């Protein structure tokens, strides 16, 4: 009886300590701050930019659970994002009677199936070979949009996608949160376009909490440590009894599904789908975001997404007309900034800070401990 109680106390204490880790606290504080931000900021252009950044948080987190944890570097992550977005847009165009939620679920399933289709043949590929394979898939999907231009729109994309306000779930949720934060009279006094911006803002925020929170639970749990052990040393992980094929394929499919969900939601928030959702630039931007924030931490790329997207889509456009007239300079500027960051902080900006605040060991040591325990 005494021994049991003695073992129970450290377990309870360790759970409390894990809950209070800075990354978990950040996951709670950032959404709480963003939830009440519209109450004090009436700049709808800024709120729109934050909504886009929130979607990119999900893009980056979905990439991180695959590449940051298992080391399967994808250079064509836009393939999954675009697949989810185009699936939602096609339902809106050809089957307008299908609800937004079902269309979004279809986008998740199609993206997950694409993840299986890419993941199975690419399981044995590593390093640049896997990166080139995923890049080729994204490039092939771009060509498909031109081959089936009548259905997929080609360079024009697909416009008129049903927005989040038309959803049986997303619309009431977004309006409910808007009235909770702004007050029913204030929200009701806004123009229809401003109401749409507020609803989109809160729907994106809620979706981000669910997706990133779920990925963090996975990433910081036992399975996440096993995924990290695969990245550290596949041979050692396999010798310890880790089923490499199952874990690597699961990471691929989960990453694709989350990216497809975020892509579909992006289409419903923006109301249009274009080729930029399948472009190499988007895949590169996601990698820049993840490396800037700190790959392999989930919360690092999330914070990196807010920093990079807000700078790119809001502040730089107001700092100089050069960035408006030459948008390619923005991604070039961030590539240069990334080089500087990687020289100063090779692991990104967020993980070293969180490690100091929490006083815990390095992720590689934790992964090694989990591998030894599983053996």
**Paired tokens of 340:** 């500087």
CA 124 to mean position of chain CA atoms: 25
Residue pointed to by tokens 């991604």: 331
pLDDT at residue 332 greater than cutoff 80: no
State pLDDT tens for residues 88-136: 999 999 998 899 999 999 999 999 999 999 888 887 777 778 888 888 8
pLDDT of res. 109: 97
Least confident residue range of 28-32, 97-101, 337-341: 337-341
Q: Let me know if residue 284 belongs to a domain.
A: no
**Is 336 domain-assigned?**
no
| DSSP letters spanning 251-305 | HHHHHHHHHHHHHHHHHHHHSEE-GGGSSHHHHHHHHHHHHHH-TTSSHHHHHHH
Query: Is residue 7 over pLDDT 60?
Result: no
More confident residue, 8 or 294: 294
Question: Does residue 98 lie within any of the structural domains?
Answer: yes
Q: Is residue 270 part of a domain?
A: yes
Per-chain mean pLDDT for the chain: 82
Structural domain containing residue 194: 40-279
pLDDT given at position 323: 63
38 near 47, Cβ under 8 Å?
yes
User: How many domains are there within the chain?
Assistant: 1
What average pLDDT score do residues 52-77 get?
A: 91
Please count the other Cβ atoms lying within 10 Å of the Cβ belonging to residue 117. 13
Instruction: Please say whether the beta carbons of 199 and 164 come within 8 A.
Output: yes
Residue 45 lies in a domain: yes
Q: What is the pLDDT of residues 260-285, one digit of tens each?
A: 999 999 999 999 999 989 988 899 88
Per-residue pLDDT, 374: 41
pLDDT digits (tens, 9 = 90+) for 208-230: 999 998 998 888 888 888 888 88
Query: What is the mean predicted confidence (pLDDT) over 57-74?
Result: 90
Sorting pLDDT into bands at 50, 70 and 90, what band is 317?
Answer: low
Is the Cα dihedral 228, 61, 114, 223 positive or negative?
positive
pLDDT at 335 over 90: no
| % of the chain exceeding 70 in pLDDT | 83
* 35's tokens: 């939830």
Query: Does 10 reside within a domain?
Result: no
Q: List the beta strands (DSSP E) in the chain.
A: 158-159, 272-273
pLDDT at 24 over 50: yes
Residue 18 inside a domain? The answer is no
Predicted confidence band of residue 331 (pLDDT cuts 50, 70, 90): low
Return the structure tokens found at 291. 């490396």
Is position 137 within any domain? Answer: yes
**Predicted TM-score of the model (pTM):** 0.85
CA distance 72 to 38: 38
What is the band of 327 on the pLDDT scale with cuts at 50, 70, 90?
low
pLDDT in tens, 162-210: 999 999 999 999 999 999 999 999 999 999 999 999 999 999 999 999 9
DSSP 8-state secondary structure symbol assigned to residue 159: E
Q: Is the pLDDT of residue 83 over 90?
A: yes
């Amino acid at each position: 009886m005494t021994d049991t109680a003695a073992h129970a106390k450290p377990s309870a204490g360790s759970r409390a300590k894990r809950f209070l880790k800075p990354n978990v606290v950040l996951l709670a504080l950032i959404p709480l701050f963003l939830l009440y931000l519209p109450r004090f900021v009436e700049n709808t252009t800024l709120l729109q930019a934050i909504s886009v950044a929130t979607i990119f948080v999900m893009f980056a987190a979905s990439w991180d659970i695959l590449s940051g944890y298992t080391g399967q570097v994808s250079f064509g992550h836009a393939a999954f994002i675009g697949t989810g977005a185009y699936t939602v847009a096609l339902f809106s165009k050809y089957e307008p009677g299908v609800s937004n939620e079902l269309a979004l679920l279809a986008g998740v399933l199609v993206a997950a199936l694409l993840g299986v289709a890419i993941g199975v043949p690419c399981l044995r590929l590593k390093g640049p070979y896997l990166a080139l394979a995923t890049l080729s898939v994204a490039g092939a999907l771009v060509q498909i949009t031109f081959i089936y231009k009548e259905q997929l729109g080609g360079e024009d994309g697909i416009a008129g996608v049903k927005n989040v306000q038309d959803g049986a779930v997303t619309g009431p949720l977004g309006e409910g949160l808007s009235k909770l934060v702004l007050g029913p009279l204030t929200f009701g006094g806004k123009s229809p376009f401003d109401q749409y911006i507020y609803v989109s803002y809160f729907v994106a925020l809620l979706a981000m909490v669910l997706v990133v929170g779920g990925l963090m639970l996975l990433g910081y749990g036992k399975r996440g440590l096993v995924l990290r052990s695969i990245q550290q040393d596949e041979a050692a992980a396999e010798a310890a009894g880790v089923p490499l094929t199952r874990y690597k394929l699961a990471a691929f499919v989960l990453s694709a599904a989350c990216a497809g969900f975020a892509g579909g939601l992006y289409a419903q928030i923006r109301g249009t789908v274009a080729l930029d959702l399948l472009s190499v630039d988007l895949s590169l931007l996601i990698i820049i975001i993840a490396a800037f924030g700190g790959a392999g931490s989930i919360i690092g790329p999330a914070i990196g997404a807010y920093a990079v997207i807000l700078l790119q889509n809001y502040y730089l456009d107001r700092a100089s007309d050069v960035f408006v007239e030459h948008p390619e300079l923005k991604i070039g500027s961030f590539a240069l900034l990334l080089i500087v960051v990687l020289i100063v902080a090779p692991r990104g900006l967020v993980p070293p800070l969180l490690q100091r605040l929490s006083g815990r060991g390095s992720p590689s040591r934790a992964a090694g401990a989990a591998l030894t325990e599983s053996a």
